[in-house]
Structure 1
Amino acid sequence: MIRKTPMNTENKTTMQAMIAETANEPLKLTDIERPVAGEGQVLIKIIASSVSPLDNKIRTGKGAHAHQPLPAVLGMDVTGIVEAAGAGVTAFKARDEVYGLAGGIGGLQGSLAQYGVFDADLLAVKPSNLSFRQAAAMPLNFITAWEGLVDRAQVHAGQKVLVHGGAGGVGHNVVQIARTFGADVYATGSAGQQQYIESIGATFIDYRATTIDEYVNKYTAGEGFDIVYDTLGGATLDASFNAVRYYTGHVVSCLGWGEHKLAPLSFRGATYSGVFTLMPMLTGKGRKHHGEIMQEATKLAEAGKLVPLVDERRFTLATAQEAHDIVENGKSVGKLVVDVAE
């Protein structure tokens, strides 16, 4: 429950936050009670947040699967500095720089606020070579990519991996992770995305100019890709079933929410996995693994093998609604980041 207090920025028991009060209304800058870390939690001074399509769906009343009752502080990705650790927390201490996918759904406070209390199991130490802005852009997209590619499909060296939407939020993480495992990576996109897709190590496929049969024949001699990661859903997921390798191939989707005919997949003897990244926050199960995945993200980033794509435009807590509007209209290039601490 959000308890509002009179606006008073000097009061150390309160903080400013952007509140989604009712569905499909603009976010409102409000003073609310500052939380206190409980057992297994850390209190974070939030430096940066980011805006995902799901954040916007919750705000507009279209994200029922996130189970976030309004009014609420939104924002799933968070990065900041630990102010205090609650009882039982040994992994973090005051002044540690951390990040994670930690709030904004399932009744949990989000990151569009000056401070937040989050489950320590969901967090990891921020990469030392990345800015807070870059770190804020990573958690949701990286975890979604890792769960599908590593946990489900078990990517390994020598495989051919096809990524649908290689320049997208999840897609550019899938490409970079697959490359670190030694896979040969191919990624679909529009002509304007070719330079970026090739810059992160994938062979570019113009999905508008090339048919599935053409690129399957060209790059796999008609056998299909070992792993196909679909980040778009709908017809693209259906197409993925026709692009995967016979017998040993595996299709992964983070947007497999519609109705699909499995016959093409079955006739190839291939397998499928769905990814629902929100599960640990909604159920409390598997939260520690999300923290472990973010530890892997830190290792890759510090090794120079992972660079998040961040939109250059700047937003403050007070102008976060502008970022939501851009996401709603589909006009961002990379993750939109809100600088909470100015």
Structure 2
Amino acid sequence: MPRSLVPATMQAAVVHETDGPFEVLARPVPDVPRGHVLVRIGASGVNPLDTKIRAGVAAHAEHPLPAVLGMDMAGVVVQVGVGVTRFEVGDEVYGLVGGVGGLQGTLAEYAAVDADLLAHKPKRLSMRESAALPLVSITAWEGLIDRARASSGHKVLVHGGAGGVGHVAIQIARAFGADVYATAKPAQFDVVRSFGATPIDYTASTPADHVHAHTADEGFDVVYDTVGGATLDASFVSVRRYTGHVVSALGWGTHSLAPLSFRGATYSGVFTLMPMLSGKGRAHHGHILARIAELVDAGRLRPLLDTQRFTLGQAADAHARATSGRAVGRVVVDIA
């Protein structure tokens, strides 16, 4: 689309101060630097981290205010910058693209996005469904595949199996041939089963119980902690001796490595925001999302979406829903 056909201004939800309200304002449509594309955003995914950034309690993911928040999106390419060869005007794309480190977020009608961060969106999914996937899918993939090399024959334990990262991690591990177990509350068992995992009631059993019941006291080959805190400590005593691997997407606290060391096992942390914050390794995010789209289109992965819908003017309501504990699945804001 020629620049002359792109509007000069767009609507964007702006937060001016820590824990402040959203204000929908007219802002200039951004220019398109070399290596970037201009995307007309169809939907913006809401992550718990978005709400923490807004509240000023995510030191590892600071975003200077005033700012447009929102990390995940799906949309249509309307302009292609110099040097971009993978995308053309009219392509439907999705990605984890902003809302942190000074990069414009996705609660806006348009965004200029580093093309390396993008992939063609899954053909089977709507914009809304696609926007629910980037952050959680990349986080799950980096832990399970890049770090732990989960594969056929492995027993994988996912902590928080009904959560955003957890429900995708179950499906990725299953797609790679693993036998998957997932901790959850009893009310979430049907969700966990629907994605192909054996549910474990963490409220009524101990790590030793899990290991005894499901691995004959050998331990799980891969344990993915998506919860953090005491759950990471529990992961260290649930993993297989010598060859087991623990992965955590929330390993921010102080933990004793002795239980892991005494099992001769290994640990990896996942920090999904690094490519956006550092500018390094961004193309790998695009590659992961391309693989995720293949799994979706093959019928092997699907997002779990909350049923409530929100518009750009209801961004505050979407944030409230995401932190309420009542959402069943991912919260998404419809932009277009």
TM range (shorter): over 0.9
Question: 1:262 matched to which residue of 2?
Answer: 257
In the alignment, the residues of structure 1 paired with residue 40 and residue 323 of structure 2 have an alpha-carbon distance, to the nearest angstrom, of 28
Question: 2:128 matched to which residue of 1?
Answer: 133
Question: 1:68 matched to which residue of 2?
Answer: 63
After superposition, the C-alpha distances for 1:88-118 in whole angstroms (9 at most, x for unaligned) are: 0000010100000011111100100011100
Question: 2:211 matched to which residue of 1?
Answer: 216
After superposition, the C-alpha distances for 1:192-221 in whole angstroms (9 at most, x for unaligned) are: 010111111111101112221112111111
Structure 1, 203-212 or 152-161: larger mean CA deviation: 203-212
Question: 2:75 matched to which residue of 1?
Answer: 80
In the alignment, the residues of structure 2 paired with residue 85 and residue 325 of structure 1 have an alpha-carbon distance, to the nearest angstrom, of 35
Number of aligned residues? 332
The reply to whether residue 327 of structure 1 matches residue 335 of structure 2 is no
The reply to whether residue 171 of structure 1 matches residue 176 of structure 2 is no
Q: What secondary structure sits across from 1:228 in the alignment?
A: strand
In the alignment, the residues of structure 2 paired with residue 321 and residue 127 of structure 1 have an alpha-carbon distance, to the nearest angstrom, of 28
After superposition, the C-alpha distances for 1:121-179 in whole angstroms (9 at most, x for unaligned) are: 00000011101111000000000000000000011100000000001000011100000
In the alignment, the residues of structure 1 paired with residue 318 and residue 128 of structure 2 have an alpha-carbon distance, to the nearest angstrom, of 14
The reply to whether residue 18 of structure 1 matches residue 13 of structure 2 is yes
Aligned pair partner of 1:201 in 196, 203, 220:
196
After superposition, the C-alpha distances for 1:38-63 in whole angstroms (9 at most, x for unaligned) are: 10000000000011111111111112
Letter in structure 2 aligned against 1:241:
F
Letter in structure 1 aligned against 2:316:
Q
In the alignment, the residues of structure 1 paired with residue 30 and residue 146 of structure 2 have an alpha-carbon distance, to the nearest angstrom, of 34
Q: What secondary structure sits across from 2:223 in the alignment?
A: strand
Question: 1:185 matched to which residue of 2?
Answer: 180
Q: What secondary structure sits across from 2:276 in the alignment?
A: helix
After superposition, the C-alpha distances for 1:285-341 in whole angstroms (9 at most, x for unaligned) are: 100000000000100000000000111100000011101112233332111000001
Question: 1:57 matched to which residue of 2?
Answer: 52
Aligned pair partner of 1:108 in 103, 107, 113:
103
The reply to whether residue 160 of structure 1 matches residue 167 of structure 2 is no
Query: Aligned-pair distance for 1:34?
Result: 0.7
* 1:22-33 → structure 2 map (5 Å cutoff): 22-33=17-28
Aligned pair partner of 2:241 in 237, 243, 246:
246
Letter in structure 1 aligned against 2:117:
L
Letter in structure 1 aligned against 2:290:
Q
Structure 1, 274-283 or 61-70: larger mean CA deviation: 61-70
In the alignment, the residues of structure 2 paired with residue 301 and residue 43 of structure 1 have an alpha-carbon distance, to the nearest angstrom, of 25
TM (norm. structure 1) is 0.96
Gaps of 5+ in 1: 1-10
Question: 1:99 matched to which residue of 2?
Answer: 94
Question: 2:221 matched to which residue of 1?
Answer: 226
The reply to whether residue 236 of structure 1 matches residue 228 of structure 2 is no
In the alignment, the residues of structure 2 paired with residue 76 and residue 233 of structure 1 have an alpha-carbon distance, to the nearest angstrom, of 21
The reply to whether residue 40 of structure 1 matches residue 15 of structure 2 is no
In the alignment, the residues of structure 2 paired with residue 166 and residue 209 of structure 1 have an alpha-carbon distance, to the nearest angstrom, of 16
Q: What secondary structure sits across from 1:312 in the alignment?
A: coil
In the alignment, the residues of structure 2 paired with residue 249 and residue 283 of structure 1 have an alpha-carbon distance, to the nearest angstrom, of 30
Q: What secondary structure sits across from 1:313 in the alignment?
A: coil
Structure 1, 252-261 or 317-326: larger mean CA deviation: 317-326
Letter in structure 2 aligned against 1:86:
G
Question: 2:3 matched to which residue of 1?
Answer: none
Aligned pair partner of 2:115 in 112, 116, 120:
120
In the alignment, the residues of structure 2 paired with residue 162 and residue 61 of structure 1 have an alpha-carbon distance, to the nearest angstrom, of 32
Regions of 4+ moved over 3 Å: none
